[in-house]
Amino acid sequence: MTGADPILEQAAAWIVRLGDDDPAERAEAERDFVRWKAADPRHAAAAARIDGLLGRVRALSGPATARPALAALAAAAKPRAARPLAAGAALLLLLCLPVWAALSLWPPAYLLADLRTGTGQWESRELADGTRITLSANSAVNLHYDATSRRLELVSGDILVDVAKDAARPFLVDTAHGRIRALGTRFTVDRRDGETVVEMLDSSTSITARGQPAGEAPLTITAGQSARITAAGVTRGAPVDPASLADAWTRHQLVVSDRPLAEVLDELSRHRPGRILYDRDQIAGLRVSAVLPLDDTDRALRLLRSSFPALRLRTLTPYLVLVDAPP
């Protein structure tokens, strides 16, 4: 993009237009871009090369990093008189982006975890004591076993735990929000922004929030119950169906009942490369009750759209989907 290939420069300029903040300008750019690609096979090939670069950046860190990349492309597409310095800056920025992007998407705590899964990856593991844990996509845990206790630290994501009995050593799961103490049990733990959700399939657990007063009794929940742990404490959640929950984990499904659409989109985004972008305020009134496939998030999005006819989905690339509900 330093003058040797004018078609690449044109493609860069088009992709910058396609990322415009103005919906009307973006829509017009999309229409014109289709015509430009159809006019010459070299146009389509150049567009694919640049979009492939942005796709790899988005796969690492999502649209937050794609925006600086677009700025770099815009700089490289400037008139020739201003291009040498701009192109050098653009190249430096694009070379640095993958490292910055990786740290943004995968913080050191995730990268250094004892067990972790990537996008679209699920893993079951039997631990040294016979306990079996299953990690869904983009989840990470640390293991802390010693002679007196068995402790799991959920760094990110969600897990299904089937605890092996050991009368001498309690089994604990810690998150940023609190601690779950298993009482010979099977349960799930989902670490979300601002809260941890525990759902019981079998037996019971006692739950304590981080910072909870020492004299305050933990909350105990049993099979079919759930709880939310936040900075404010521990509260009971909505009932769950243990059989349906177990089946959902086996089939890699997301089962939701009267849950905000924004939270559902966050979950789907975690299970696909790239990002799903939406305006949280615009869809604040939409709530979802559904069973959605996590191994096919495109199909899950189509199912959501069939439930909410006003919902609009725009796939700009396989790595970037825009969701909104125009008035």
**221-234 confidence digits (pLDDT tens):** 999 999 999 988 99
| Reported confidence tier of residue 49, pLDDT bands at 50, 70, 90 | low
* Residue ranges per structural domain of the chain: 6-105, 110-245, 252-324
Q: Residue 51: what pLDDT?
A: 64
What's the pTM?
0.68
Return the biggest CA–CA distance within the chain. 76
> Is residue 60 scored above 50 in pLDDT?
no
Only one residue has tokens 């559902």, namely 264
> Is residue 62 scored above 70 in pLDDT?
no
Beta bridge partners of 198: 189, 227
pLDDT in tens, 33-47: 888 888 888 887 777
Q: Residue 152: what pLDDT?
A: 97
Q: Which CATH number fits domain 252-324: 3.55.50.30, 3.30.360.10, 3.40.50.620, 3.40.50.410?
A: 3.55.50.30
pLDDT in tens, 291-327: 999 999 999 999 999 999 888 898 887 788 889 888 7
Q: Residue 274: what pLDDT?
A: 79
User: What would the two tokens of residue 69 be?
Assistant: 């990349």
Q: 49: helix, coil or strand?
A: helix
> Is residue 88 scored above 60 in pLDDT?
no
User: What would the two tokens of residue 242 be?
Assistant: 């243990």
Q: Residue 64: what pLDDT?
A: 45
Share of the chain above pLDDT 90, in %: 47
Question: 110-245, which class in CATH?
Answer: mainly beta
Rounded CA-CA distance 87/73 in Å is: 8
> Is residue 278 scored above 80 in pLDDT?
yes
Once rounded to an integer, what is the mean pLDDT over residues 250-258? 92
* Better pLDDT: 46 or 186: 186
Q: Residue 2: what pLDDT?
A: 38
Q: Residue 226 — φ and ψ, nearest 5°?
A: -140, 165
Which of left, alpha, beta for 218 (phi over 0: left; psi -120 to 50: alpha)? beta
Under a CB-based contact definition with an 8 Å cutoff, are residues 225 and 206 in contact?
A: no
Q: Residue 110: what pLDDT?
A: 79
Once rounded to an integer, what is the mean pLDDT over residues 231-239? 92
Q: 248: helix, coil or strand?
A: helix
Task: List helix spans (H) across 107-255.
Answer: 108-111, 242-251
Q: Residue 4: what pLDDT?
A: 45
> Is residue 107 scored above 80 in pLDDT?
no
Q: Are strands 195-202 and 204-209 parallel, antiparallel or unpaired?
A: unpaired
Pick from 63-67, 143-147, 285-289: least confident: 63-67
> Is residue 103 scored above 60 in pLDDT?
no
Once rounded to an integer, what is the mean pLDDT over residues 68-90? 48
> Is residue 288 scored above 90 in pLDDT?
yes
| Reported confidence tier of residue 76, pLDDT bands at 50, 70, 90 | very low
